Amino acid sequence: MLNIEGRTIKVLIANRGEIAIRIIRAAKLLGFKTVAVYSSADKNSLHVAMADEAIQIGPANAVDSYLKQNAILVAAEITNSDAIHPGYGFLSENAEFAEKVEATGRIFIGPSSTTIGNMGDKAMARKLMSAAGVPIVSGSENFFNDVETGLEQAQKIGYPIMLKSVAGGGGKGMRLIQDQENFKELFELAQNEIMSSVGDNRMYIEKFVVNPRHIEVQVLGDGAGNAIVLGERDCTIQSHHQKVVEEAPSNILDNKTRQEMLSVSLTATKMMKYRSAGTFEFLYQGPSNYYFMEMNTRIQVEHAISEEVSGIDLVTAQLQLASGTKLDQIIIGAKHKYAIEARVSAKSAGEIKGLHIPGGLGIRIETALYQGYTISPHYDAMILKIIASGTCREEALKRLQIAIEETVILGVETNLDLLMRIINHPDYISNENKTNIDWLDNMLKK
């Protein structure tokens, strides 16, 4: 625990961009000192300017900077940091890194390395979830990194199958494979993609669930068996398995299934004695017909919409729990009945030559952009999140439509036009279950 007598707690943020800024703000709220790490490409980034200290950890490519465990551990030692917050992506779900942090006597702001390892081991995760009464979809029993083993596993499970990377996230290292003929080619594409991103070539297979919605449950645990659920998010609007628009709660989800999902997620969280924020991801096909996909042992990109509807600041809660605060002492603020988030992505690198960010009642912006900032080609394409809240879905959606209309980003290409197409599409507006996880990709083919 971060109970340090006689001096101010110092937290190193092992990340970049908007999530690094989000963590810095939460740390400052609690009176903690902050340390930013950065690559050579990020020396002029906002998170570097906002932190109390900053230290360069490597060149532009992530493998030699944000993914370089020893560089981050040395930075923590040099700056005498008490804790490391990994954010999302990069090393956030790397059990080996969490274990190394723990071995130094520092606090890893997140679950224990054992929990991360168990949830990262898909076979173990499925076993634990099954024991907790969570419905699971059929899949491979073990990881593999060669085509031959993959082919054998796929044959046992039956096509179509979803090939996934153990270390994947945001759709990276994931491919839908319809038959044996295309397995080798798609396997190599997925494995090469994830290797260039995180350097881990382990893969696994799940039976493909046709036309589901993507529903996830946000949980918070204190590591002692106490936990709460903060409701669900509907993350169905995706392109190539990358989430684009998310909302909370899900108006499509029937109440009986909602209660089942929340209940099994709470039971599993307590059973694991989970610490920090976490997310259970499910594929939903209809009333009481849903399957566990995975548990994300980190803060999610889309955590803001859960914060809006629950009134709980999840990042601050992570820091508080690491400091020994009890769950019932977590502060609950203003709540909204509905929230929708749109992810703005850059389609090209370059300098931001003009920028206007919307504001007003019910609008929240998460970004690291500023006019004159140069977007690097080395990292994730998401550059800004627009979160709209309201008393109902219709009000939140209208606020989001206005906010996207007002957003101006000059100098680089973005997906703002696509976001407007999505949130103005009759299928999306109707809220009558006319979308699924393949809806957006199918729409873009027309």
Residue 285: its pLDDT value, please?
Answer: 92
| Same-domain check for residues 299 and 255 | yes
Q: Is residue 298 annotated as part of the catalytic site, yes or no?
A: yes
CATH number at residue 95: 3.40.50.20
Per-residue confidence at 171, pLDDT binned at 50, 70, 90? Answer: confident
The pLDDT score that the predictor gives to residue 270 is 97
203 and 217, same domain (yes or no): no
Domain range spanning residue 53? 10-109
Shared domain check, 301 and 174: no
* Residue 132 placed within a domain: no
* Tens digit of each residue's pLDDT (9 = 90 or more) over 72-106: 999 999 999 999 999 999 999 999 999 999 999 99
Regarding whether 147 and 224 lie in a shared domain, the answer is: no
pTM to 2 decimals? 0.90
Q: Are residues 312 and 374 in the same domain?
A: yes
**330 and 413 housed in the same domain:** yes
315, 386: one domain: yes
Residues 270 and 347 in one domain: yes
Residue 236, domain member (yes or no): yes
| Residue 195: predicted pLDDT | 81
From the candidates 213, 298, 343, 393, which is the catalytic residue? 298
**Is 232 in the same domain as 189?**
no
Q: Cα–Cα distance between 164 and 225 in angstroms, integer?
A: 30
3-state secondary structure the chain: CCCCCCCCCEEEECCCHHHHHHHHHHHHHCCCEEEEEEEHHHCCCHHHHHCCEEEEEECCCHHHCCCCHHHHHHHHHHCCCCEEECCCCCCCCCHHHHHHHHHCCCEECCCCHHHHHHHHCHHHHHHHHHHCCCCECCECCCCECCHHHHHHHHHHHCCCEEEEECCCCCCCCCEEECCHHHHHHHHHHHHHHHHHHHCCCCEEEEECCCCCEEEEEEEEEECCCCEEEEEEEEEEEEECCEEEEEEECCCCCCHHHHHHHHHHHHHHHHHHCCEEEEEEEEEEEECCEEEEEEEECCCCCCHHHHHHHHCECHHHHHHHHHCCCCHHHCCECCCCCEEEEEEEEECCCEECCEEECCCCCCEEEEECCCCCCEECCCCCCEEEEEEEEECCHHHHHHHHHHHHHHCEEECCCECHHHHHHHHCCHHHHHCCCCCCCCHHHHHHHC
Residue 437 included in any domain: yes
Q: What is the pLDDT of residues 136-169, one digit of tens each?
A: 988 887 789 999 999 999 999 999 999 988 876 6
Q: What is the CATH number of the domain that holds 440?
A: 3.30.470.20
257: in domain: yes
Is residue 97 situated within a structural domain? Answer: yes
310 with 258, same domain: the answer is yes
State how far the Cα of 98 lies from the Cα of 109, in Å rounded to an integer.
9
Asked if the structure places residue 130 within a domain, the reply is no
pLDDT of res. 3: 57
- 59 and 149: one domain? no
Q: Which of 207, 238, 265 lies at the terminal end of a domain, its last residue? A: 207
- 103 burial class (0-12, 13-18, 19+ CB within 10 angstroms)? exposed
Question: Average pLDDT, whole number, for the chain?
Answer: 94
Q: Is the pLDDT of residue 1 over 80?
A: no
Domain of 153, CATH number, reads 3.30.1490.20
Let me know if residue 3 belongs to a domain: no
Do 276 and 295 share a domain, yes or no? yes
Residues 391-408 have a mean pLDDT of 98
Q: Does residue 121 sit within a domain?
A: no
Work out how many domains the chain is built from and give that number: 3
